[in-house]
Amino acid sequence: MRRAAKIYFPFINAGMQEVATYRVNWIFYILGNVMSCFVSYFIWKAVYSSGGGENLEGFTLPDMIVYIFLMFLTSTIIGSDASYVVGEEVRDGSIVMRLIKPVSYNGTFLFQELGNKLLTEIMLLVPLVVGVEAVRAALMGGIQFNPLSFLIYLVSCVLAYLINFFFNICFGFLAFVVKYLWGANLMKACVVGFLSGTIIPLAFLPKPLEAVFLLLPFASLNYTPVMIYIGRYSGLTLLYYLGLQLFWALAFWGLSKFLWRVSVKHLTVQGG
Amino acid sequence: MIDVKNLRKEFKKTIKEPGLKGSFKSLFKPQTKRVVAVDDISFEVPKGEILGFIGPNGAGKSTVIKMLTGILTPTSGKCEINGKNPTENRKSYVREIGVVFGQRTQLWWDLPLRETYSVLKEIYEVPDDRFKSRMSFLNEVLELDDFITSPVRTLSLGQRMRADIAASLLHSPKVLFLDEPTIGLDVVVKENIRNAIEHINKQEKTTVILTTHDLADIEALSNRIVMIDKGRNVFDGTVSELKTKYGQIRELHFETEERNAAQALCYEKLFGGNIGGLTLEQEGKAVKARFDSSVVPVSEMLAYTLSRINVTDISVRDADIEEIIRRLYQQGVSE
């Protein structure tokens, strides 16, 4: 364990330095996310004011606004670029440089991204949470912050990140077959956005569909943490959804190991 | 040490018909074709040898190196290094080897160079004192001091290559694979790198496998050459063996007043049907005739030439290794 920490710590460090080196890129990335968050805010405002009623499937406009901002916060915490990075490395062949080192392929990606995340989280988590809570307090009247829910939310986010990371790694291995993932990545972003409740709350869907979607791994990504944060899951329900998250994290971890073993045999290195 | 037997690698390749129509076709119904990149290659390398691995572009050199380093899985055949199969247990195998791909880098692009070495120190579990002495040794041989604190992305190609070679040697590997380590470098840096490789090979008995297009690398470094072409082994032996086997090529240089020496000389008569390798170039007065001295001996060639036309300043030269290899590449050797 200590040895593993020693080996992978430099990767965390390198991930942090990457953020620091490409600061402007990072700022644009965050700004882009903030903007798309406001776009959904205005869309939902229009939907509610066009007279769909005060209450859509148990969501009032203030609920919806909080939901949108929490989705944004959660996406920032659990986002993973792994499929993009794996896809690029396969495309330009630089994956060979990872293969000639005595380290786990998935491990190097995970820790490099963790370093990246760590720096993002340190700088953004507090201001974002304060921002979300301020909006919440203004809309609902009075401070709604629940430290316990918040802690469980963080745990749930860690699980969600692991699911997201290993899912993305699995997806990235597709590049071994199709060679270039740009198109597939766009499609994935769209499908995952819908299935994970980022675009509309899963509660808005027809009940049978909602039940199915809640079982899928994508609900475990954004929807579960957000539901925990706003206190819609509690007691046994809460434990059930955390358990489901854990299950999916382990499943994708296993799948990524398996796919790695299969696909590395089919590796053809592009570009000499 | 290194034992390669009947190694073979096939790839599936998608073929696209030309034009937009072809693109559409291949989008819906891609046609694939089997391409044999490496076909039945065998060789052995004893410990401490520097093996030059040469062949024209696309001959399959890099594919062989990638199989030997455990990156690609062979379709069939065997390769064994230190008794280990590279693809079977990658993590433990790559501890014993160092690899440099001249066209890529293993250095951390955004970090100061020094950080790469400390990362590698942890990855390969090099003890502190060993790391220190190793770094000062590599510093001395490859002169890293000037740029060790600069971020890797700011290094020049020559610096980067030296840094990459140092990175591959940090853990004192038993085998060093160098895939075009001098590509794109100037003469001075090439010389430095050759010296460093030689030094390390002598001092530590590191086995080195080197692919290159620069034959000066081969002449300076390797005792032995394996040449492949179109995925097949075409020559395996020492540099001097290569010269005697294919080196019967001589060049006859002379000056003449004759406007069209080729016509006047008509060497075809002398060589009969066997004119393989015969070329004649004329530039003003100067004429250069290249011929195979195993077909027509030098003395006969001289006598014949002198009898046909008036010449001044005549000389016969050996073809250098570069010339031999150029000829081999062009003809596509078959055994």
Distance from CA of A5 to the nearest CA of B (A): 10
Give yes or no for residue B173 having a pLDDT over 80. yes
Instruction: Kindly state the tokens that stand for A239.
Output: 């434990």
Q: What percent of chain B has pLDDT over 90?
A: 19
Q: Give the model's pLDDT for residue A52.
A: 63
Structural domain boundaries in chain B: 2-243, 248-318
Give CA–CA dist B70/B93, Å, rounded. 8
Contacts of A93 in chain B (CB under 8 A): 104
Q: Could you tell me what percent of chain A has a pLDDT over 90?
A: 26
Report the residue of chain A nearest B62, measured CA to CA: A272
Which tokens in the block code for residue B119? Answer: 């990362």
Reply yes or no on whether the pLDDT at A250 is more than 70.
yes
On whether the CB atoms of residues A137 and A144 are closer than 8 A, the answer is: yes
Reported confidence tier of residue B332, pLDDT bands at 50, 70, 90: low
- Beta carbons of A267 and B106 less than 8 Å apart: no
CB atoms within 10 A of CB A92: 12
Structural domain contains residue A178: yes
* Of A173, A192, A217, residue with least CA distance to A84: A173
Q: Has residue B242 got a pLDDT over 80?
A: no
Residues in chain A whose beta carbon is closer than 8 A to a beta carbon of chain B? 3, 6-7, 9-11, 13-14, 17-18, 21-22, 93-94, 96-97, 99-104, 264-265, 267-269, 271-272
pLDDT of B334: 45
Q: Per the CB < 8 Å rule, is B69 touching A7?
A: no
- How many residues belong to chain B? 335
The pTM is what? Answer: 0.78
On whether residue A271 sits in a domain, the answer given is: no
Minimal CA–CA distance to B69: which of A11, A95, A173, A111?
A95
Q: pLDDT per residue over B290-326, tens digit each? A: 887 777 888 888 888 888 888 888 888 876 666 677 7
Q: In this predicted structure, what is the pLDDT of residue A272?
A: 46
Are the beta carbons of A97 and B104 separated by less than 8 Å?
A: yes
C-alpha distances (whole Å) from A166 to each of A248, A257, B161, B177 are: 10, 9, 34, 33
Please provide the DSSP assignment of B288-323 as one string: EEEEETTTS-HHHHHHHHHHHS-EEEEEEEEPPHHH
Q: Domain B248-318, CATH 3.30.70.100 — does that match?
A: yes
Residue type, B223: N
What is the tens place of the pLDDT at every residue in B179-194?
988 888 888 888 888 9
Count of the separate structural domains present in chain A: 1
Query: What would the two tokens of residue B292 be?
Result: 């195979």
Q: pLDDT by residue (tens digit) across A227-244?
A: 999 888 988 999 999 999
Of the candidates A99, A101, A268, the beta carbon closest to that of B123 is on: A101
pLDDT digits (tens, 9 = 90+) for A155-203: 999 999 999 999 999 988 887 777 677 788 888 888 998 899 888 888 8
Q: Which residues on B lie below 8 Å from A268 (Cβ)?
A: 11, 72
Residue A272 lies in a domain: no
Interface residues of B toward A, Cβ cutoff 8 Å, are 11, 62, 66, 69-73, 90-92, 94-95, 97, 99, 101, 103-106, 108, 110-111, 115, 118-119, 122-125, 151
Of A10, A17, A267, the CB nearest to B71: A267
Q: Which domain holds residue A133?
A: 2-265
Site from A96, A106, A177, A263 to mutate, B interface, most B CB atoms within 10 angstroms: A96
Q: Do B91 and A102 touch (CB under 8 A)?
A: yes
DSSP string, B41-79: EEEEE-TT-EEEEE-STTSSHHHHHHHHTTSS--SEEEE
pLDDT at B320: 64
Q: Are B148 and B159 in contact (CB under 8 A)?
A: no
Which residue, B159, B165, B163, is CA-closest to B179? B165
Query: Could you tell me if residue A132 is inside a domain?
Result: yes
Instruction: Write out pLDDT tens, residues A56-112.
Output: 777 888 888 889 989 989 998 898 888 888 888 877 878 888 888 888 888 888 998
Mutation target for A interface from B10, B61, B90: give the one with most A CBs within 10 A: B90
**In whole numbers, what is the pLDDT of chain B averaged over residues?**
84
CATH numeric code, B2-243? 3.40.50.300
- Whether ipTM > 0.90 holds is no
CB contact under 8 A, A100 and B97: yes
Q: Among partner residues A22, A103, A269, which is closest to B71 by beta-carbon distance?
A: A269
Task: Name residue A103's amino acid.
Answer: V
**CA A259, A247, A82, A8 torsion: positive or negative?**
negative
B93: CB partners within 8 A, 6+ apart:
B70, B81, B84, B85, B86
Closest residue by Cα to residue B167 from B86, B81, B109, B90: B109
Contacts across the A-B interface (CB distance below 8 Å): 72
